[in-house]
Structure 1
Amino acid sequence: MTEEEYLCFVQPYEDALKNILVRVDVLNQDYRRKYQNYPIHHIQHRLKQKESIEKKLQINGYEISTDSSRDYLTDIAGIRIICYFVRDIYAVVSLLKKQNDIVIIKESDYIREPKANGYRSYHIVFGVPVYHTDGMEYYPVEIQLRTMSMDLWASMEHRICYKGKKECEAEDAFKDYASDLKAMEEEMEEFL
């Protein structure tokens, strides 16, 4: 994939990303007006870089091309929404699901069913409409929703265990940390 092919390819993904970012911001502001509270602490977003797309295709045994990227990758555009509490995550997901012009492509609730290593998060891939001069097409945007403590855990686990190491020496400790953070979150949520 040339740099020029990559730039043309990711443009509609960037448009879809901007579209969903505006929706999330509007929902957060509206929630704040109605309930004198807001569920979102902060939002991060990114477009997968050319090298990262190529690496993921290669690892999964796909041809390195824009067609393969379009057919097999749903995380080219990504948003991470960091909320205060678990109930805020489900509130945001519920509000997004009520928007009838976006479609759910894939959904994984790692809060109710954490991964074996203790990872907790809510992942949902939406098909977001992008309108062009010649029509409309849906593009996937992956949204990961976490609480602040889930994000802390995932960031530290990624830094220590995921990047470049085959075996994580601290894997058992991270399972314990995940359990401790969950208990702390639940205890703090009772103060609301």
Structure 2
Amino acid sequence: MAEQPYIELSELRDVQMKMTRFFMAYRFVLEEMVTKIDILQEEFEVAHDYNPIEHTKSRLKSPESIVKKVRRKNLPVKTAVIREEIRDIAGIRITCSFRSDIYEIRNMLLSQQDIELVEEKDYIQNPKPNGYQSLHMIVRLPVYMSDRVEHPYVEVQIRTIAMDFWASLEHKIYYKYDDEAPAELIAELTSAAEAVDALDKKMEWIHQALRKNPGPSQPHVEDPFDLPEATLERLLSAAPREKPEE
């Protein structure tokens, strides 16, 4: 049995520090993207009395997953290559109720000046042969560190609840059978994808019908402090008295 190479403790610490520094930019860019999504979600809900986002999930690939993907793609295991070629180290999945929400969220994100769209694959308009549907984007944005500016890639997936449920089931099946699922299961999965597609289209029709008949609307006020003087005085007199500022 070949003797394992001896690694100095200082070398291990150096590798750990470099790995921590490498992942730091991806962690920061995920936090920034999640914050942007939270702001858009809250602003949209106030402006439209409707929340298009059901939930958001973010994740970072592990070093082991990154190395395995590099080897699958027959790439050299070099940091510069990994930064450029492995573009899903940081990932965010946004789940919404309706198909139209997917494109609404996509447009809101890409309207921000610091988010650059690098690549986009629309598996909703063009589903995969097995029925998989989702909108995939690779974006990047600046992360300002103390000594440099990095532009990490982020994979953004946007899908409906039904699409997400189907994709989760597909993942479990292929994971259980190590990508060699029985033909009858694949056929049932494809049939389920058709049912998901029909359900999403039906729900979208109902959603659009409701939006065409929203009921009584609230007055939209852009400048809440621009009030007539008499109205302002009545509001001030009715408000509870506050402790004077020191």
- Once residues 98 and 158 of structure 2 are traced to their aligned partners in structure 1, the CA distance between those partners, rounded to angstroms, is 10
The structural deviation recorded for 1:65 is 3.0
Change (3 A) 1:141 1:163: farther
- Once residues 20 and 197 of structure 2 are traced to their aligned partners in structure 1, the CA distance between those partners, rounded to angstroms, is 41
Q: What is the identity percentage for the equivalent residue pairs of Structure 1 and Structure 2? A: 36
Aligned to 1:51: 64
The structural deviation recorded for 1:162 is 4.4
* TM-score, length-scaled by structure 1: 0.94
Aligned to 2:224: none
What is the aligned counterpart of 1:9 among 22, 42, 48?
22
What is the aligned counterpart of 1:187 among 202, 208, 219?
202
Deviations 1:131-169 (A, max 9, x none): 122342311111001100100000000100245523222
The structural deviation recorded for 1:100 is 1.2
**Contact 1:5-1:66 within 8 A present in 2 as well:** no
> Higher mean Cα deviation, 36-45 or 179-188?
179-188
Change (3 A) 1:134 1:5: closer
- Once residues 176 and 163 of structure 2 are traced to their aligned partners in structure 1, the CA distance between those partners, rounded to angstroms, is 18
- Once residues 177 and 113 of structure 1 are traced to their aligned partners in structure 2, the CA distance between those partners, rounded to angstroms, is 17
Aligned to 2:102: 89
Greater relative contact order (CA < 8 Å, ≥ 6 in sequence): 1
- Once residues 96 and 74 of structure 1 are traced to their aligned partners in structure 2, the CA distance between those partners, rounded to angstroms, is 18
Aligned to 1:172: 187
Question: Match of 1:175, as an amino acid?
Answer: T
Deviations 1:7-48 (A, max 9, x none): 221110111111111101100111100111011000110111
Counterparts of residues 43-122 of structure 1 (less than 5 Å)? 43-122=56-135
Alpha-carbon RMSD: 1.6
Q: Secondary structure at the match of 1:190?
A: helix
Question: Match of 2:102, as an amino acid?
Answer: I
Change (3 A) 1:5 1:136: closer
Change (3 A) 1:60 1:164: farther
What is the aligned counterpart of 2:143 among 124, 130, 138?
130
> Higher mean Cα deviation, 160-169 or 78-87?
160-169
The structural deviation recorded for 1:181 is 0.9
Aligned to 2:153: 140
- Once residues 87 and 162 of structure 1 are traced to their aligned partners in structure 2, the CA distance between those partners, rounded to angstroms, is 31
Count of matched residue positions in the alignment of Structure 1 and Structure 2: 192
The structure with more radius of gyration: 2
Change (3 A) 1:134 1:141: same
More strand by share: 1
- Once residues 166 and 65 of structure 1 are traced to their aligned partners in structure 2, the CA distance between those partners, rounded to angstroms, is 28
- Once residues 43 and 179 of structure 2 are traced to their aligned partners in structure 1, the CA distance between those partners, rounded to angstroms, is 45
> Higher mean Cα deviation, 155-164 or 170-179?
155-164
